[in-house]
Each structure stands twice: as structure tokens, then as C-alpha cells.
Amino acid sequence: MAYQAGGQRSVPRPVPESPEGQAYLRDYATLLEAVPFPSVILDHRWDVVLANTAFASLFRGVGQHPTAMPGDNFLRFVLFHPDASTVLGEHESSWCLPMLAQFAAAVERHGHDHGLQAIRREIAQDPIMEAAYRHGLPHWIRAVGEQAVVQDGSVRPLLHPDPRWGATECRVVDETPSSLQKMGYTRQTLVLREVRRDRPRVRGARRVANHLRVVPTSEG
């Protein structure tokens, strides 16, 4: 059974085996749907366990992708979907590098996890992301420090398809209760922030460059 508050998902995800855990997630899906901001529950591989309608609406304009849809695996979406930068503002510095840093930390903790190993192979097969992972990420972590792997409280730009929001910002809020923690899940909510209405809305370009700006061309 797949729990997706915002609608049907394309790929079923594992859920707790116990009836109590399944019942908890069913009720939590109701709670999640009542949240007006995009909110999602992820496992340690960034597979989406639950997401609300506001989360689905944020990414409603992205094209289909066989492995990197935001409602299936959020890390793969950020790293590999060509439309990610049309929604995630300052895609490289505000989204790619922080999530690559978190991924590197997850690999250290769960090095033998087959799902994480599969993502690492996908990174290695993508010249842009492999260059970022091997060259850009260490430099960025040295510059940013220990905050590199901390998402809670960070403010990141978004390009919301709803014109009532448009070019805006969100604060990433980690609000994971102990019951979800015991299941190995994390809940994150993107709290949309009011911005000046005279701020121009500039749609991000699809990823077409052969290297990331954070990685010197000579290292790509």
C-alpha cells in the first residue's frame, strides 16, 4: 500500500509491516494534507513516503522522467531532472550542493545500502554531477563548514508555478516526530515566504550546460 496524500504515485514504496505503523501513516497522511505548504516525508534514500497536495502542486509543471520525478525520489529529482531548475531557484548552490553533502553523509552512515549505492552509480554516470561530487562539493563544504549538511532552517529560493507566489523563497523546516524517526523517516515542510511583489520572476533554465558553475571547467 502506498500513502500519497496528494494523489496516486507511480512507484509503490515500502511501508511499515506492523498494522500500527500503517495506521499511523494513514492518519499522518490526513494531517499532512491539512498543511497549506509543500510537505513531504522521506526515507533515508530520499524516497517519498508521503507528500501532500501542496507539494504536488509545486512541481506540477515538470515533465515526465523515468527515474527522477519529485513524487518518487526527491534527491534524484534535484540532481537529475532537467526541469528541476525551473522550480528550484539557484539550483546549483541552494539545492544541488546541499543535497549532495547530505547524500555523502548518508553514504558514510549507510555505506552498504543498495538504494544509496544505486544513486552513487547514477552520479558517477552523469559527468556534471560526478564533477560536482568529486571536485565542487569538497570545496563548497570547506567554504560553508558544518552547516553544509544541515537543512532545517535554511532559506532557499523557489519559482512557484502559482502566480500568487511566483518567484519566492521557502524556509526548510524539519518537523519529524519520534514515531516517524523510529520508522527511519524524515518530514520536511517548505514554508513559503512573502517577498516583495516588485521582485521580477525569472524562470530557471533547464539543465543544458556541460558543467556546473561551482566546478571549474578544467576540473569538469
Identify the band that residue 213 occupies on the pLDDT scale cut at 50, 70 and 90.
low
Domain 40-197 has what CATH class? alpha beta
Sketch the domain layout of the chain as residue ranges. 40-197
Average pLDDT rounded to a whole number, residues 198-209: 52
Q: Which residue has the higher pLDDT, 51 or 147?
A: 51
In the prediction, which pLDDT does 9 show? 47
**Residue 122: closest CA among 86, 85, 75:** 75
14 compared with 171, residue with greater pLDDT: 171
Which grid coordinates belong to 186? 524524515
| pLDDT above 60: residue 10 | no
Q: Which residues face 40 on adjacent strands?
A: 51, 188
pTM: 0.84
Question: Does an H or E element contain 38, and which?
Answer: none
All 3 cell numbers of residue 49? 513516503
d(CA 75, CA 114): 15
- Give the integer Cα–Cα distance in Å for 92 and 86: 12
